[in-house]
Amino acid sequence: MNNPERRILVARVVGAFGVRGEVKLQSFTDPLKQVLKYQPWILVHQGKETEVGEIRARETNKGLTVFFPGIEDRDAAEAMTGAEVWVPRSRLPAPKAGEYYWIDLEGMQVHNLEGVDFGKVSHLFNNGANDVMFVQGDRVRLLPFVMDDYIKSIDFDAQKIIVDWDADF
């Protein structure tokens, strides 16, 4: 089961933009501005957590830029580099049919069609061609997250993913 209070990293500050206190934000949402719908944010920076809301933002040809309350010049904006934007899982909308949030798949048990236990999903990543599940068990397996081809079923109630994958591969 997914944990609605589990936090999800949705963006990261990657630098200052201009001289008025704007920061460049690397958004992990699609589209980029979707991140704005999950406010208020939990801003984590230098070991400190702050809840921030009423974030103003704009898209530029260099990506998404935002104004944080209290950040009013380039030096203050530059000091925010590395800050992470987190939100509780409960703020995200339900995924569409056939779509999944990676965080909801983490921790699920993975078995192949023959019933061999591969272990649990540690995390997922995108390799440019497709998403990949990092499965940790008796050894590490990197399994392409391609529905129908390799991923045969996902059962959230049983916390189990069935894959079409040779146990020796």
List of residues 6+ apart from 39 with CB closer than 8 A: 52, 53, 54, 55
pLDDT at 29 (0 to 100) = 87
Mind listing the pLDDT tens digit for each residue in 33-52?
Answer: 999 999 999 999 999 999 99
pLDDT at 1 (0 to 100) = 45
Mind listing the pLDDT tens digit for each residue in 74-129?
Answer: 999 999 999 999 999 998 888 898 889 899 999 999 999 999 999 999 999 999 89
Question: pTM of this prediction?
Answer: 0.77
> CATH 2.40.30.60: does it fit domain 7-90?
yes
CB 93 within 8 A of CB 30: no
CB 44 within 8 A of CB 123: no
Q: Is the pLDDT of residue 151 over 50?
A: yes
Is residue 163 classed exposed, middle or buried when 0-12, 13-18 and 19+ CB atoms within 10 A define those classes? buried
Q: Averaged over 138-166, what is the pLDDT?
A: 97
Domain map (residue ranges) of the chain = 7-90, 102-163
Q: Is the pLDDT of residue 4 over 60?
A: no
**CA torsion sign, 137 to 138 to 144 to 146?**
negative
Q: Averaged over 139-163, what is the pLDDT?
A: 97
Q: Averaged over 61-68, what is the pLDDT?
A: 91
CATH number of 102-163: 2.30.30.240
What average pLDDT is seen over the chain? 93
Q: What percent of the chain has a predicted confidence (pLDDT) above 70? A: 98
- Strand, coil or helix: 104: helix
